[in-house]
Amino acid sequence: MALGRTAQGRRGAGEYATYLAIRAIIGLALLVPYRWRVPLAGWIVSRIVAPLAGYSKRVRDNLAYVCPDLPEAEVERLVRAVPDNAGRTLIEIYSGEGFTDRFKHAPLTGAGVDALHQAHAEGRPVVLVTGHFGNYDAPRAALLAAGFNVGALYREMNNAYFNPHYVAAISKVGTPVFPRGRQGLAGLIKFLRAGGMAGFLVDQYMWDGEDLTFFGKPAPTALSAADLALKYNALVVPVYGIRQPNGLDFEVVCEAPIEHSTAREMTQALNDSLEALVRQHMDQWFWIHRRWKPERAELRHSARAAAKMGPDDPS
């Protein structure tokens, strides 16, 4: 067994042990009826996995960085609630029809719904943009249930053992799905140009991303969704699956389309859209992510400056 990182992620004893632990949790939860399975998975991740994996500390650190005035009682609530939502999301995606059946009669809401229907009727490409909020696959499940042709770009897991298992799970929600990278992007572009709707996640740290802001702090962000929309005249619609108070259902909101301008301006508008929603539902965003990574800022800016100058730049 080779150590290190492969094209699909890292392989090693630690990664294999993590893979086995996650598979065990998923397997245990899938034995339970859906209405109990989802809260059970949330409880396991919140109470057991998060403290052991360091997720609780990461939630605190992120909140301290962007929301330093948040009351301590609210911080402690979010330390439990955020991993709970993450655990629910994970098992929902693995539940296949148990998850997708909840959207068969679920209405789509928001100012962007009519625009989506019009684009669908005209065969115009649509770029759907969301974040790791609520359940990020709920909009895709709802739109597929409503008869739209929706594909998604996904980032392969760092854990190479877990990745095929994860791809199989998200494929049960709907297809096609495309891995981030040259080959996957080529497939997604072909799908988009044929009038499909392609889903993107906008809230991941990107080393080579644009210096935009999220919660008022520098957050390197990929411009790819906006770039594709401008190149192929695609409608850009922010979409979100907001978890409802019962913990099982979702309101799928399609916001008004983002007007075409520059890729930078459009992507910042997408960041702002997500931030506004997160501020309304702080416990539903994935505060476990290392979204900002301020400790890398100086190194990143130095590397970008050197790349722009080039090796033969006399300056």
Q: Residue 219 region, left (φ>0) first, then alpha (ψ -120 to 50), else beta? A: beta
pLDDT in tens, 67-108: 999 999 999 999 999 999 999 999 999 999 999 999 988 889
Residue 1 has pLDDT above 50, yes or no: no
pLDDT in tens, 122-144: 999 999 999 999 999 999 999 99
Q: Residue 147 region, left (φ>0) first, then alpha (ψ -120 to 50), else beta? A: left
Residue 2 pLDDT: 31
State the pLDDT confidence band at 306, using cuts at 50, 70 and 90.
confident
Tokens of 249: 């259902």
Tokens of 156: 């392969």
State the pLDDT confidence band at 5, using cuts at 50, 70 and 90.
very low
Residues belonging to the chain:
315
Q: How far is it, in rounded angstroms, from Cα 208 to Cα 229?
A: 20
Kindly list the distances between the CA atom of residue 66 and the CA atoms of 208, 214, 279, 293, 308, in Å, as whole numbers in the listed order.
Answer: 22, 9, 12, 12, 30
Rg of the chain over Cα atoms, rounded to whole angstroms, equals: 20
Lowest-confidence segment of 8-12, 95-99, 167-171, 246-250 by average pLDDT: 8-12
Residue 311 has pLDDT above 70, yes or no: no
Residue 13 has pLDDT above 80, yes or no: no
State the pLDDT confidence band at 309, using cuts at 50, 70 and 90.
low
| pTM summary value | 0.89
Q: Name the residue with higher pLDDT: 94 or 14.
A: 94
Residue 9 pLDDT: 60
Tally of CB atoms within 10 A around 175: 12
Residue 144 pLDDT: 94
C-alpha 128 chain-centroid distance? 12
Q: Name the residue with higher pLDDT: 286 or 10.
A: 286
Residue 10 pLDDT: 64
User: Strand, helix or coil at 209?
Assistant: coil
Residue 3 pLDDT: 28
Q: Following DSSP, what letter does each residue of 19-33 receive, concatenated?
A: HHHHHHHHHHHHTS-
pLDDT in tens, 222-262: 999 999 999 999 999 999 999 999 999 999 999 999 999 99
Q: Where are the domains of the chain?
A: 4-93, 102-293
User: Strand, helix or coil at 219?
Assistant: strand
State the pLDDT confidence band at 315, using cuts at 50, 70 and 90.
very low
- Beta strand residue intervals within 118-185, DSSP E: 126-130, 150-154, 177-179
Residue 212 has pLDDT above 90, yes or no: yes
Residue 305 has pLDDT above 50, yes or no: yes
44 contacts 184 by C-beta, under 8 angstroms = no
Residue 18 has pLDDT above 50, yes or no: yes
Residue 105 pLDDT: 82
C-alpha 81 chain-centroid distance? 18
Residue 314 has pLDDT above 60, yes or no: no
Tokens of 50: 């998060």
Question: Which residue in the block uniquely carries the two structure tokens 């949790």?
Answer: 25
User: Strand, helix or coil at 255?
Assistant: coil
Q: How far is it, in rounded angstroms, from Cα 202 to Cα 271?
A: 7
Task: Give the 3-state secondary structure percentages of the chain, helix then strand then coil, rounded to 5.
Answer: 50, 15, 30
C-alpha 315 chain-centroid distance? 41
* Phi, psi dihedrals of residue 94, rounded to the nearest 5°: -80, -5
Across the chain, what does the average pLDDT equal? 90
What is the β-pairing status of strands 250-254 and 235-243?
A: antiparallel
Rounded-to-10 torsion of CA 228, 158, 276, 261: -20
Strand order in the sheet with 197-201: 108-109, 250-254, 235-243, 126-130, 197-201, 150-154, 177-179
